[in-house]
Amino acid sequence: MSGPVNPIFYKCFVKADAFTASDACIGCGQCAKRCPMNNVTLKDGKPVWGKNCTHCMACICYCPKEAIEYGKKSVGQPRYHFEAL
């Protein structure tokens, strides 16, 4: 049943619009490197999120400077690593 629902859900509700990088970003590219969807690119040394995000939060969790946030939802939240990524 979830087969036809997932594409519609992701297209309508899962967006990368709330991701931001603060001035603490050093442009290391870990966010882009760790994104399993290749959805993050660097422009002028800062991450830019595309439209193919699954909200895995790898970009947030692997940022060595904790410079990436997802709106206010991730502020102050612990970061974690999945070494399989």
pLDDT of residue 3: 64
pLDDT of residue 5: 57
- Cα–Cα distance between 21 and 46 in angstroms, integer? 7
Architecture category of domain 2-70 in CATH:
2-Layer Sandwich (3.30)
Per-residue pLDDT of the chain (85 residues; tens, 9 = 90+): 566 656 665 566 667 889 999 999 999 999 999 999 999 999 999 999 998 898 899 999 999 999 999 999 899 999 887 666 5
- Domain ranges in the chain are 2-70
pLDDT of residue 2: 63
Q: Coil, strand or helix: which one is 3?
A: helix
Task: Give the closest residue to 50 by CA, choosing from 63, 37, 34, 60.
Answer: 37
pLDDT of residue 39: 96
pLDDT of residue 16: 82
